[in-house]
A and B are shown apart, each in its own frame.
Chain A
Amino acid sequence: MSLLVELSNVGRDFDGGRIVAVDGVSLAIEDDETVAIVGRSGSGKSTILNLVCGLDRPTRGEVRFEGRAVNGRAAWAAVRASRIGIVFQNFFLLQSLSARENIEVALLGNLGGARQRRVRALELLAHFGLAERATLLPAELSGGERQRLAIARALANRPKLLVADEPTGSLDVQTSQSVMGIIGNAHREFGTAVIVVTHDEDVAALCGRRVEISDGRIRSDSRTAAMPKPSANP
């Protein structure tokens, strides 16, 4: 167990300081944790998540990943390529690429040959029950399949951290439970730390830690033991 991400007194303003989306947030996340970030709409959850992944730049404070301060787009891109997998609310699949290619695109930065990338992509598709769907475009997939593809893509580079912003936001109860099941499995099988932004308390209850945000600040931060820790041998 070691420190994975650390936000120290981080703030993020928009519109030249007129909007303070995040303010004075300090948050340390271990490499085996599952964290739910909850809070009302507009409270700053997505902004915090963006700062954790280096998709956004803090106005104040510092973000450290695996103990090192990361600065600049290129440095963050390198961290994301090898360490962080992101699942967005609307999946953000590339529409002009097939299911297999959507995964390969994430591997391009990391994995040498085209052949290697293809093998790894097919492996992941098979793991998520999408083997038959490899050549289809995202538009030709069902909602559930798209989700699994998005998660498969996020896990393509065997990340240390899986980040998901409202992964169940637009889904019915049953599908959202299956998504959380997949994310939970990733945590157990690959030992991936997980941060989920959600306003669904049922989803939050599945995580080992619950961080509540309001008005850009941490209101509460509590640990439960809901999600089992990763097993020693996945």
Chain B
Amino acid sequence: MTELTLPLRGLLARPLRTLLTVLGIALAVAGFVALTGLTAGVQHSFASGIDENGADLVVSQRAAFNLVSSTVPKALGSGLSAVPNVEAVSGVLLNITTADDNANIVMAGWPSDSFLWKDMHLVAGRIPAPGDQWPVILGESIATALDKRVGDTVELQFQPYQIVGIASFSSVLNQNSAIVPLEGLQQLLSREDVFTLYEVRLKRPLEKNDIAVARTRLIAAAPGFAVGDTEQFANSIRIFDLLKAIAQTISLVVMAMASVAVANTLLMAVNERTFEIGVLAALGWSPRRILRLILIEGVIMSAAGGVIGIVLGVLTMQMAAKTNFAAGLIVPYLSGWSIAQALIFVFIAGPLGALYPAWRATRLLPADALRRI
């Protein structure tokens, strides 16, 4: 037998309670993992969605609250185009709405002369032509989800659009997007003369610091606006910070609850096993060793809860991302760091909960402990 034998037997002697505590910890960890994974996922999917269109840099409003609330005046365009090494710029107007009152969809309004149309990979139909009445290109996923084909109609922002093409993208966000001519969308949103952002494409081939140099020049051409790559743009959006703050707060509360669950379970275990602890003390176990015994039980439960929680969290996250509400907007994104955070949390919360019961166990006078049979 080793020092682990007794804690393990202790936990197995109360299987149901141990299981419930482990489950409590697992749910807390799952909550944390799912929340952080989903929040990071929103941000990540926006970044990769914009990235895919072939833009190297994005000019947007500083610290915009959310993706669609950024406002950049149309007048900025000529100044940006004049920056050396810039191949093309394109204003983009973004809007999040529902398609046929059913699925979430990102609408992107592109000017008819935008460079963005060129890189599009059509799987059916064509790009809008002059003279089309309310034409739209749907991403492949949303088209499949809504069971739409070229020639069908889809209602976007309360306006029936004619589907002229279906395009395939690599990012989930774009796969679930609708691309429409800029003018119509501006009219629907009453946002004439402004864009959500400018996408900037630099001349090829790109040298190592071309992007940095171009960025400095673009900042000079658009004073007061944010210029960055797509990842930086996604990071600058305020609502993501808000989402993260909410996720972190909830996670913290949930973790505290897990800690209390561990404390409660072990406190009951200590009370129940007062006698056993008395026997160990009578056999010459030092208070330190008895403390360690209870702490180890806490750590074992936490470790088990942590591992189960991460698996559960990943599953929850995947399921949540598939709900109607989130589909197309959120691609779960779990970094190694947030898994590490969850584990660090667990290895603090569990032992912390075990500390008080363990301390209580060492305060018992052996004679008193042995009287309670």
Contacts and interface: CB of A to CB of B under 8 A. Distances in A.
B284 A57 contact: no
Contact of B283 (A57, A90, A153): A153
A96 B13 contact: yes
Contact of A117 (B1, B288, B362): B1
Q: Interface residues of B toward A: which range? A: 20 to 34
Given A56-B365, A104-B1, A96 B10 contact: yes
A79 B285 CA distance: 10
B370 interface: yes
Interface in A85-105: 86, 88, 90, 92, 94, 96-97, 100-101, 104-105
B287 interface: yes
Contacts of B367: 50, 55-56
A105 B4 CA distance: 11
B241 interface: no
B198 to A, nearest CB: 69
Interface in A183-223: none
Interface in B268-313: 275-276, 278-289
Given A74-B288, A96-B10, A55 B370 contact: yes
A80 B283 contact: yes
What is the interface of chain B mostly: helix, strand, loop, or mixed? Answer: helix
A81 interface: yes
20 contacts: A53-B282, A73-B365, A81-B286, A84-B284, A86-B283, A92-B279, A94-B279, A96-B13, A97-B5, A97-B9, A101-B1, A104-B1, A105-B6, A105-B280, A105-B283, A108-B3, A109-B283, A109-B285, A114-B1, A114-B2
B340 interface: no
Contacts of B206: none
Contacts of A78: 284, 286
Contacts of A106: 283-284
A96 B1 CA distance: 12
Interface in B5-20: 5-6, 9-10, 13
B284 A77 contact: yes
A177 interface: no
Interface string B242-269: 0000000000000000000000000000
A43 interface: no
Contacts of A53: 282
A109 B1 CA distance: 13
A114 B284 CA distance: 17
Contacts of B6: 94, 96-97, 105
A77 B287 CA distance: 8
A36 B288 CA distance: 34
A109 B13 contact: no
